[in-house]
Amino acid sequence: MTFDARLLFALPCLAALACAGVACVPKRDLPPEQIVKLEKLDEVMDVQATVADPQFKKIGEASYTDQDWAAFADLSTRIDSTSKKIPQFTKGPEFDAFAAKLGEHAAALGAAATAKNVAGASDALAAMKATCKACHAKFK
């Protein structure tokens, strides 16, 4: 087999492997109606990280765009869903309290997004991030 023939044979094989690899990546950017169907705590945590981490980078900004407000409202809804799902995988009362606190911060973020309250949104994001860090320090 010549080099060109090997390359023609190898390219479809590599393409198939690449597609298979993509199919194995979990879909972590899930809407609330899919979040409730998750069966593992790690899956719920992956959704939280996927949707929250990019928004945490906006903590402390002086202003937000309409796109930011929409993203904050979406984050609020999804974190509300994950915070309600987390107690199904309880690790005890303190763990459940972190989930409840996260839900409270998500509600505050949603209210701030609706009012386009810059300080309120930044504070809610910071509180959510702090809650995540505190929970991970205790339970991860």
DSSP 99-119: HHHHHHHHHHHHHHHHHT-HH
pLDDT of residue 60: 97
pLDDT of residue 76: 97
Kindly list the averaged pLDDT for each block of 10 residues, start to end, along the chain of length 140: 51 44 57 92 94 96 98 97 94 96 98 98 98 94
pLDDT of residue 28: 81
pLDDT of residue 10: 45
- Taken in order of first residue, the domains within the chain and their CATH numbers are 27-139 (1.20.120.10)
CB 106 within 8 A of CB 83: yes
